[in-house]
Structures are given as C-alpha cells and as structure tokens.
Amino acid sequence: MHGVKRRQWTKELLRQKRSNDAMKISNYRALTEEGLTLKRQGVINWDAFDKTTEILNLNPEFNAIWNYRRDLIKALENNLPDKFWGKELSFTLETLKRFPKVYWIWNHRFWSLKRCPGAEGSKWRQELKMVDKILSLDARNFHGWHYRRTVVERIEIAEQTSLNQQELAFATGKINENISNFSAWHQRANLLPKMFANGQIENERQFLKQELDYIITAMFTDAEDQSVWFYINWFIQESCITSRWTKQEYQNALEQLAESAVAINEDEREFSGKDNSWCLKILVIIETIKKQKLGCVENEQRSELLQRLIAVDPVRRERYIYLLNE
C-alpha cells in the first residue's frame, strides 16, 4: 500500500486489530449490502442517497456507489432540496481533503459542477479558488494541476477569454516558491507556445531576454534538480523560442547558458571533486545544437563531456555510450 509503514504484528497486536476490525467489517458489510441491494433494485429516493453518503464516507474509492449516487441525483433532479448542490460540493471537498488522490472524488466534483445551475463563468471562477487552495497544500498534486487546466478551460469557454497570462503568473509563483516544482515548469512550457502564437507576449525580445535570465538564475538556485534542466532543454530547442532569435542571438543565448553551466560545474568540482552531471548533460545538448542547427564545426568537446558523464553518472552509462556512437 502506498506509503503505509509495515508493522510487526505480535499475537497481541493482531488480536487487538482483529477485534477492532470485526466491528468495522460487520458494519461496513451490512451497509454496502444495503447500498448495493438498493442499487440493484433501482430504488430512487433520498434514503438511498443518504446510504451512498454513508458508504462513501467510509470508502470514497467505491466507484459503483458514486455511479449510483449520480443516477439518483439525475432521477431526483426536478425535486432537489434547497442548497442541494452547495451541500454536494462541500461533501466532495471534505472527502478530497481526506483523500486528495482519489480519482473518483475529483470526477464526481467535476460532474457536479457541470450539472449544477448557476452562471458558468462565476461557478468555475469560484472553483479555481478551491484549486488554488488544494495546490497550496500540495504544489505537486497531479490531480490538482490536471483539474486546474480543466477548470481554466471552462472559464475560458464561458467568458470567451484567455487566462494564459494569469496562468503563466500562477506557474511563475509556484516556481518561485519551489524551483523543483516540475508541474509548474511543465505548465510554463505548455503556455508559452500558445501565448506566442496568439500574440499574447507583448515585447517578445524583452521577454526572451528575461526568460533566459530567469532560467540561468534557476540553474544557480538548485543545480541538482532536474526540473530546470528539462525546461532548459525545451527552451533552447522549441521553435516558438528559437525562431524568434537571429542566428547570432541564438548563439549568444547558448554561450551564456554554457558559461553558466561551466561555472556551476567548476564550483561543484571545487566543492566535491566531482562533475555535476546536469551541467555536463546540458553542455552536450548545446554542442549538438551548435553543430546541427548553427553549422558550427564539431570539436572534441562533446565526446569528452560524454566520457566524463560515463564516469560521474554510471547508472545511465549505456545512454552516454549510445550518444557517443551517434
């Protein structure tokens, strides 16, 4: 089980657990038996609905019970009590707080929001605040980021607007809080091509210069973390970026990055006596680009870097050998 510590069960501990479990099991089995019987019989009433709440509180992974709950809501939709949807949304929020990684809860929340009445724009704007909160508790929550993109899309459709600027600012904020937040770097790399294509970057040259400074600062902040390096690899090869540079500017940007990588690596060698593998990896990529895209003459440096990588990062040696033989 993900993240559950293994315990040594002595006879006494096991006896205690069994006697605790016996009560829980008989309660749970009786409850689920009732719920599934109602479902099988196609019973549609509020008692059945309450039964689903009871079961899902104990086990939010019970997808068949979520399904039954949705069928009940659909069938009872013409007679929903006051504030029904508000309560339904608090129910999923409370459940998500306890189980932030259960797909079924996220799905049910999304389904509920699609279905509940209210102005589309404000409904989803409100929801975006909820996502902010979830991502402030766990800035890498995979479901949270996915859900965020879905909610943003809803707002954009409802209001015929683009939230790219706002979302770029959000991603920047998350990166500034923690440079290793790859979810935010991913978001950034997703947004920029769209923003360039839609003319949403005001001063493109200025932006590219700032972005280069930004990633160089990030390199120096945590040179061990791969998030930044994967982003840099994208930045120096992605056409929405490179097509906006003259050949000279492209070359200068690569030189600037290479100098920084060399400087970081020198520090590392002084400190630990070893190369920083990420600096070497990016230097290999820069050498390859210079040869393939900028027509620079090949020098010995690329193979030398790869040899050093074999020494410093032996677990991935076969990849470096592959690159050497390319």
Partner 1 sequence: MKTDELAKSQHIQYIKALDDKKDDYEYWLTEHLRLNGVYWGLTALCMLNAKNTFDKDKIIDFVRSCYDSSTGGFAAFPDHDAHLVTTLSGIQILATYDALNTLSEPEKLKTTEFIKSNQLADGSFQGDRFGEVDARFSYTALSSLSILGALTREVVDPAVEFIKKCYNFDGGFGLCPGAESHASMAFTCIGALAIVNRLGDLSSAQIDQIGWWLCERQVAEGGLNGRPSKLPDVCYSWWVLSALALIRKLEWIDFNGLRSFILKCQDIEKGGISDRPGNEVDVFHTIFGLAGLSLMGFDDLVSIDPAYCMPFSVTEKFKKYPY
Cβ-based neighbours of 3, under 8 Å, separated by 6 or more? none
Smallest distance from the beta carbon of 17 to partner 1, in angstroms?
8
Smallest distance from the beta carbon of 222 to partner 1, in angstroms?
10
**Residue 215, both tokens:** 């990633």
Instruction: Assess 138 for contact with partner 1 (CB under 8 A).
Output: no
213 backbone dihedrals φ, ψ, rounded to 5°: -60, -40
Three-state SS across 264-284? HHHHHHHHHCCCCHHHHHHHH
111-114 long-range Cβ contacts below 8 angstroms, 24+ apart: 111/70, 112/85, 112/88, 113/89
- The vertex-242 CA angle with 241 and 248, nearest 5°, equals 130
How many amino acids of this chain bind partner 1 (CB under 8 A)?
Answer: 57
Q: What is the CA radius of gyration of the chain?
A: 27
Instruction: Assess 292 for contact with partner 1 (CB under 8 A).
Output: no
Q: Residue 39 and residue 25: Cα distance in Å, rounded? A: 21
Smallest distance from the beta carbon of 318 to partner 1, in angstroms?
4
Whichever of 212 and 241 has its CB closer to partner 1, that residue is 241
Torsion of CA 206, 211, 216, 219, to 10 degrees: 170
Smallest distance from the beta carbon of 315 to partner 1, in angstroms?
4
Tally of residues, the chain: 326
Give the side-chain half-sphere CA count within 13 A for 71. 15
Whichever of 133 and 317 has its CB closer to partner 1, that residue is 317
Structural contact between residues 258 and 286, judged by C-beta atoms closer than 8 angstroms = yes
Find the binding residues for partner 1 in span 294-323 (CB under 8 A): 314-316, 318-319, 322
Whichever of 98 and 259 has its CB closer to partner 1, that residue is 98
Instruction: Assess 188 for contact with partner 1 (CB under 8 A).
Output: no
Structural contact between residues 56 and 88, judged by C-beta atoms closer than 8 angstroms = no
Q: Residue 139 and residue 1: Cα distance in Å, rounded? A: 23
Smallest distance from the beta carbon of 248 to partner 1, in angstroms?
25
Smallest distance from the beta carbon of 272 to partner 1, in angstroms?
14
Q: Residue 278 and residue 320: Cα distance in Å, rounded? A: 13
Contact range with partner 1 by CB under 8 A, out of 121-129, 141-149, 159-167, 267-275: 141-149
Whichever of 192 and 201 has its CB closer to partner 1, that residue is 192
Structural contact between residues 255 and 272, judged by C-beta atoms closer than 8 angstroms = no
Smallest distance from the beta carbon of 24 to partner 1, in angstroms?
5
Instruction: Assess 129 for contact with partner 1 (CB under 8 A).
Output: no
Instruction: Read off the amino acid at residue 51.
Output: K
Q: Which of 75, 85, 121, 140 binds partner 1 (CB under 8 A)?
A: 140
Find the binding residues for partner 1 in span 37-96 (CB under 8 A): 39-40, 58-59, 61-64, 67, 70
Instruction: Assess 196 for contact with partner 1 (CB under 8 A).
Output: no
| Binding residues vs partner 1 (CB under 8 A) | 1-7, 17-18, 20-22, 24-25, 28-29, 32, 36, 39-40, 58-59, 61-64, 67, 70, 103, 107, 111, 140, 142, 145-146, 149, 180-183, 186-187, 189-190, 225-227, 230, 233-234, 238, 314-316, 318-319, 322
